[in-house]
Structure 1
């Protein structure tokens, strides 16, 4: 039976010599939906939504470029031999941490130029960011990447997954653990918590973004340990796990520091 399993076509349509990949379409959908949610949040908070639109129009391409640079840098042994593949982003190979670095740097520069609060901007886009990541993982699904180790069809069926997911996890004659789905589900839950719970609380500026940083990093640390295609810092250290631990630490330290600072000013 497994011999007849056919993977989904990663190409959505072909326009003459141009192939439009599902990977790019899915990422674009994540950006568009995230933009819509962020502008609605800006309206709710009395912000000019044009500020959010301008920021995302700048930050999105910068983030994608940084995500690719990050990935290529840690896979340089391969890309130095095949430099023409460096720009082949439609084949996959972008790192979320690289995108996050690019987006944060863009936000710092943008908010300074506009003379607005970095933390407030970060809070507005945080739910959109984690939702975009949840959607983006389905681009990995279409490319049959970001998966875990070998498994059996019986295991996948025990997870009550639909057949189209199970079949797509059949790669070169072997079934693999759908870690892309684990991370996407974790991110989607994070979006629900950030957007429908935490943002309704009386949090201080920046605390929603810091909550996102810690939540995402906890999930990423676990899922990364299951993957077989991790970028490696050494033969034993996975880059994403190291970065996740650093981000968890940074998020908690900044959260506690700013709370203590506010309390000190209030008591003073």
Structure 2
């Protein structure tokens, strides 16, 4: 049976002991794309630029730190034996869910302190999150640092580059990052289609959180991960937390009035025209 072979060198360029990998390139692109979509959506919704920028900055900073810390905790035994690698960010290793939860929480706090509804700001961020995650996962797919379980499905991938983290497996595996890309793009399309009906503050973000959390919970079955406690994985716990947050936000949104788009200004008409 033939499988999809990934032969792209995961290293884009090397300088001294530092290797720039596609993971880092697409992570940066994903952040930029996600922020761009979020800022555009925030302006469309009439949110104040200064507050949105501050929330994005502190949320992103906290999210990146948390993403690394959650990853280190998840693979604690490895980093206990190799403590010098804890800060080796160029080698990859980030917990997306951990970063999203902490970063989103910090961004919401910044908005609240500045007098902006966190629900309104998170609604503006929902499509940016979906699009940014899809872009960022392209690098993970190339590098093979989030390879799935071995499988014989026709869309399985096998990594042929010795520098790939999945090369040593020498087995066809689930293209886990591709699943997450499709999940995020599907949610993005749903948000776009349901946009006119998501007028209550918090509805868009709540929908994204529930769908992405459920999707990630299901996808954990296709990827090997260490168990934290009672054979439960960290990603499963964080996925459930995200779903619960989404459900809470959705419930709260039903108690808020719908936001109606501002009407076009009426131009008075005289006998001589406008």
1:175 maps onto 2:172 in alignment:
yes
- Is 1:198 the equivalent of 2:198? no
1:111-260 to 2 correspondences below 5 Å: 111-152=111-152, 155-156=153-154, 159=155, 167=159, 171-172=167-168, 173-194=170-191, 196-228=192-224, 230-234=225-229, 236-259=231-254
Q: Distance in 2 between matches of 1:30 and 1:11?
A: 18
Conserved 8 A contact 2:209-2:243? yes
Q: By how many angstroms is 1:108 displaced? A: 2.7
Structure (1 or 2) with the greater helix fraction: 1
Once the two structures are superposed, residues 2-49 of structure 1 have per-residue CA deviations (whole angstroms, 9 ceiling, x without a partner) of: 9xx774222212345543221111011011111111121122112233
2:71 match: secondary structure: helix
What whole-Å deviation, never above 9, does each CA across 1:60-115 have from its counterpart, x for those lacking one? 23211100001111221111111111011222211112101221221133113311
Quote the Cα distance in structure 1 between the aligned partners of 2:139 and 2:248.
33
Cα displacement string for residues 175-229 of structure 1 (whole angstroms, at most 9, x for unaligned residues)? 21111111111111111212x123222421011111111010111011111111x
Instruction: Tell me the distance in 1 between the aligned counterparts of 2:73 and 2:209.
Output: 23
Structure 2, unpaired ranges of 5+: 258-274
Separation (CA, whole Å) in 2 of partners of 1:242 and 1:80: 23
CA deviations 1:215-255 (Å, max 9, x no partner) are 10111011111111x24223521221233233323422442
Unaligned runs of 5+ in 1: 264-268
* Of 41-50 and 115-124, the range deviating more from structure 2: 41-50
Closer/same/farther in 2, CA of residues 250 and 106 from structure 1, 3 Å limit: closer
Matched residues in 2 for 1:142 and 1:30: separation?
A: 15
Alignment check: 8 A CA contact 1:92 1:143 kept: no
Instruction: Sort the Cα spacing of 1:256 and 1:102 in 2 relative to 1 into closer, same or farther, 3 A.
Output: closer
1:202/1:61 Cα in 2 relative to 1: closer, same or farther (>3 Å)? closer
C-alpha distance in 2 between matches for 1:119 and 1:262: 10
Query: What CA distance in whole angstroms lies between the structure 1 residues aligned with 2:89 and 2:230?
Result: 26
Structure 1 residue 167: Cα displacement: 4.7
Size of the alignment, in residue pairs? 250
User: What's the TM-score once normalised by structure 1's chain length?
Assistant: 0.83
Q: Which moved more, 1:234-243 or 1:29-38?
A: 234-243
Residue 79 of structure 2 is aligned to residue 79 of structure 1:
yes
Report if the CA contact (8 A) 1:30-1:136 is conserved. Answer: yes
